[in-house]
Each structure stands twice: as structure tokens, then as C-alpha cells.
Amino acid sequence: MEYITNSVEETFALGEKMGQEAGRGEVITLSGDLGAGKTAFAQGFAKGLEIREDITSPTFTIMCVYETGRLPFYHFDVYRLADGSELEAIGAEEYFYSDGVCLIEWPENIEGYVPENAKKIRIEKNPACGSDYRKIIVE
Ligand code: ADP
Ligand code: MG
């Protein structure tokens, strides 16, 4: 499935819709370059899960846990990890195979550690289509 968005609000809205539809134990990976809109999508997704807190990018903490929504939400940003070996220290495997919902930014960095049944989403820019254009591909 492919979606086109032309503003951060549209990407947020798509995330929100997928958050509304998310089910227990779901794991979603979110790929795309810096500034692609992964965090914007994640913020919409959190709203769709009925989380009221502000979602900030967990770039420095690797993971944020939100438990006030419809389902527990585990938001990962593994940009700073060289590989998946550090995941053990933060107990990530427990979250990957939990009753909550995981969203993982930069899954490429932890290849081999992401559950096989994860839903893959990729956000792509295309300079020829303008700076606000994004193609969002859902596997
Ligand atoms: P990432 O987490 O992938 O690094 P962010 O969500 O933090 O990206 O930032 C995306 C940036 O791109 C924001 O500044 C946002 O305003 C801008 N932007 C412009 N158009 C879009 C769009 N269609 N979808 C998402 N973000 C967009
Ligand atoms: Mg981000």
C-alpha cells in the first residue's frame, strides 16, 4: 500500500489512522532519512492510540513508554545504536514480544533483532515533487 502526503499534518493524520487500527502485540518499523517524518508519523500514531501525553523523539533515551492510551505504546528510536546487542540492556525484547504496540525508528540499525512479523513502513522524499512531498509505503 502506498500513500502520498503533502504536509506534516497529513503524515500525522495517516499515523493517527494507523494508531486507531493498531492491535495488541503489533510491531511496526519506520524507515526513512533524517527529516523524513518518522516522528511526525509516530506522534499521530500515539494520538490514534488515545495517548494524551506529548510524544518526543526518544533519540537519546532509545525508548519511551506510554501507558495512558488504549494499549501500551513503546516508541523506539535506535538511531544511536550501532547494532542490536545493546537492546538487551534496555530489555527491548520484552517489549518487542509484548501485548503493547511497538514503533521502531531506524530498524536498519538493529537488523536481526526486529520480530519477523513486524509491519514495515518506509517514508520517502522526492525532491522533484517539492519539499513537503512524502511517499509512505506500507508493506
Ligand atoms: P524524522 O523523525 O524522520 O527525522 P521528523 O518527523 O522529526 O522526521 O521531521 C519531519 C520534518 O519534515 C518536519 O520538520 C516536518 O514539518 C517536515 N515535513 C514537511 N512535509 C512533511 C510531510 N509531508 N510529512 C512529514 N513531515 C513533513
Ligand atoms: Mg525522528
Asked whether 13 lines ligand 1 (CB < 6 A), one says no
131: CB partners within 8 A, 6+ apart: 125
Q: Is the CB of 132 under 6 A from ligand 1?
A: yes
Q: What is the pLDDT along the chain (139 residues), one digit of tens a residue?
A: 999 999 999 999 999 999 999 999 999 999 999 999 999 999 999 999 999 998 887 777 899 999 999 999 999 999 998 888 888 888 899 999 999 999 999 999 999 999 999 999 999 999 999 999 999 999 9
The tally of domains found in the chain comes to 1
Q: Using a 6 Å cutoff on CB, does residue 7 contact ligand 1?
A: yes
C-beta of residue 90 within 8 angstroms of C-beta of residue 76: no
Domain span at 113 = 2-138
Indicate which CATH number applies to the domain containing 8: 3.40.50.300
Cα→Cα distances 139→67, 85, 121, Å: 27, 26, 6
CA of 77 from ligand 1 middle (Å) equals 15
The string over 18-27, giving b where at least 16 C-beta atoms fall within 10 Å of a residue's C-beta and e elsewhere, is: bbeebeeebb
Task: Give the DSSP letter of residue 85.
Answer: G
